Amino acid sequence: MPLLLHDALVLFFIWLLAAAAWHKLRHPVYYRERLRSYLPALSVPVTLIAGLEIGLAAALAAFPLRQAAFLFTALLLAVYLLAMLRQLLKGDADSRCGCAGPESDLRISPVLIGRNGVLVLLAMAGTVPVVDMAAGIGFYFNAVLIGLFLIGVYLCTEQLMLNAQRFRESWG
């Protein structure tokens, strides 16, 4: 994988993991309830999951740890995906996903599961060996721009899913 794309993925996933941890640390009671609805038998403290997300974000920032961090990020996202899929299959599609904190009304849906599948694939792409290339100020500027673009696409996708959900609720 070209270093430029790799670094853009690093920035995107650092943002994603840090935002997820921030939501969990700000609203532990909400996320404890979300965890119980996803996996009732699992009793993991929300702060432990937030710590894992922060640890993965930090590992992504450390070049020697990036491939392993991408792999574990993909595994964590796959667990989230499977928990949502379980909810959907048991008929609990009206449940909030918890993806963007308690302020978000985004519900579990096939589209959301598809989005999380794309996130798993992007994290797996980060495990591909990096092709070394010369890096200058323009390189880092471009990596940041691409990373910001990925964040923008993620946020737009989330808003589109929410808009579609509201449209379905309004029009049946």
pLDDT along the chain (172 residues), means of 10: 91 97 94 84 86 98 94 96 91 79 86 96 95 77 94 96 89 76
The angle formed by the CA atoms of residues 137, 141 and 144, to the nearest 5 degrees, is 140
The whole model's pTM is what? 0.92
Residue 49 contacts residue 24 (beta carbons within 8 Å): yes
